[in-house]
Structure 1
Amino acid sequence: MLLISMLALGAVLTQPPVSASSRACADYTAATNARPVVTPASSLLRVVRRVTLPESGPAAVQGIRSLDMRADGTMLLVDSRQPRVSLRTASLGLTSILGREGSGPGEYRIPIQGWFSSSGDIWVLDMNAARLQAYTASGTYRKSVPGMPLDARVAFELTDSSFLIVGPTRTPRGNHVATAFRYNGQQAWNSVLLDPRVLELDLIVDGAWATRLRDGSAVVGMSVVPDVTQIDATTGAIRCRSRIPAAFWRQLTARERPRNATLAVLRQWIEAASVARVAVALPDGGFIVEIEGGAKGTESPRRSWVMFDARLAPHQVVDDVPGRILRTKGDTLLAIDDEAADGVAIHYLVFTAPIGVRR
């Protein structure tokens, strides 16, 4: 889904320094000059299962915005196109629908993210209403928490008592990308100042990406810049910075923006550049950032996965991946099948070779 949002967020500020207590990690210079192993998905990934979801009827799915999983295998699927939020079995069969479209208690307009909290509750972020809806583990409406950022794009539990909202937020100290809230709705901290290039472009393409790592910290980034920032879950302090290597990133720039262009022309301009869409954590402590679009001097594939290790060093790029990555399930990756002609289909993928090794 391609979203274009106009920003008028004020002054450009300098990014805060990396914490002196930060552990060793990759830095901007090293990441920029990195030459990761490049591997086609066909030689690294194997489809072990494919699940097709119905396009019509009570269990219909028109698009998957987010997918979370409970320890017992229960899935929470957020479909912002209908809109619909549903509980599903481990094999994605429908169990129940949570709430409905609307603006009342337990209702939503544009649900974009859902997650299971450590307490057992279910939380759903409604971007249109700038609020969270809370449900019991069985899906009964419990409460609403207003005051969420209007431009929120990603949300997930950060600690047992807090969650992270990722998207531009204006604060007295500047325009921040990451904001932590306690479950009572009280704001805990802001982190990662908005990149000046985003302000120069005066737009966001599907906003931002983020994921929680195995060590409990989070990595965040904006969709139209290659920077990767790791933040501490408790304080929001910046622990490490890295970036998608320059060889695999074509920057969207304000000077190339078409003047007086139609939406179709703007879309072509955006798609000719690189856009980071989503990120998922890996069991080894690393993570994947999915990118689409062009690369410098090459005709790049439509979609690639840039793989980072636990030090935030980019060490491998997987080309021609079979679909948008949703999440990991142990050693299995779940991704939407781009080629599906029979509805929304999900591939269950496993690695067939050690990560970082060319075959």
Structure 2
Amino acid sequence: MSIWQNRHVTVVVSGGIASYKAIYLIRQFMQQGAIVRVAMTPHAAAFVTPLTFQTLTQQPVICDEFTMQDPQHVVHVELADWTELMVVVPATANIIAKMATGLADDAATTTILATTAPKYVVPAMNSHMYANPATQRNIAQLIADGIQVLTPATGMLAEGYVGKGRLPEPSTILSWLTQTLLSQTKALPLHGKRVLVTAGGTREMIDPVRYISNRSSGKMGYAVAQAAREMGADVTLISAPTALTKPAGVHYVEINSAEELATTVKAHFDATDLLVMAAAVSDFRPVQAVDQKIKKQPGQNGMTLELAETEDILKTLAPLKQHQFVVGFAAETQNLLANAEKKLAAKKLDMLVANDVSKPGVGFNGDTNQVTLLTPNSTPVTTNLLSKQAIAQTILKAAIERGA
């Protein structure tokens, strides 16, 4: 389960050209399972209408501290008490100054002053305003008061020149907030555990421009790495090249070949509590890769490529297991259970995640998966067709239940 699930998040939007980016951040909060409400300054409403945020969140937007929509509650106090986490984004120099001095002269700032929930501030303003000693003093005061402040990005500003003061991208803000929450939350199922995840399809070079690989996108392994991090683990992701964004908050190691993967996994294995071997490892490699592109020759009739088996990494690790819980994967196109049970026993795994990649929605590159979880001396359990994020959570929960 996401650390954001059902969390009450209040987003305070102040008036600046970056106000529109709050829309995208709110959407990401909601995709993570949060319930979001919005308070706006009058200046913010000049850039983005309250109706936009109300439609997006399906919650009332607080703009007027004197509204009497619900006479039984003081609007800004009710919102302040509801809040579990408050994010001021974008935070202009004006609202930062008000927060630093305790000034509350509108619905947004009265809500800020009334809440006891943790507060996070994401500044966005002209670079000269940000560098002004008054602004820096105010930010220092916020930090001294226990408020978390994200450093703004450097980039093109509304004024047409590059400077420090640009609002970070919503994905960066969400990552920062997520990592902060995880570091502060101890009651997580994998807190204190070291999880090693492999992902992607390895590449075995034939020449400088050609290689043997497979259709793995890496999505399943990346989902497992992200889910493990959200469950509190210290995660290392070893990945073959993919087009995916690196999961937030994980240690990332890129490899190419099966040999590189084997070397890297072995180097991390002793310090690992849970290994999830989701990478699609090439079973064969060219006996000899050449250092120049292989050219077709006149009159050439075909080409023979001699292959050798790559190392079976899981089988090599089996005798080295001490405290580690090891999860393997098996992508099959026929005889799923028979092949999976054979692999589970031969490689002495604690769990095997098997899927029939010939089924619709289960194959490589998709966003969904359906798997069968096998463990020694237990009846196999097959999931429904779910998102890979949900499958990742299912795998990790099953591993935890079995002692990982």
TM-score (norm 1): 0.27
Higher radius of gyration, 1 or 2? 2
TM-score (norm 2): 0.25
Q: In proportion to residue count, which structure has more helix?
A: 2
Q: Which has the higher contact order (CA 8 A, sep 6+)?
A: 1
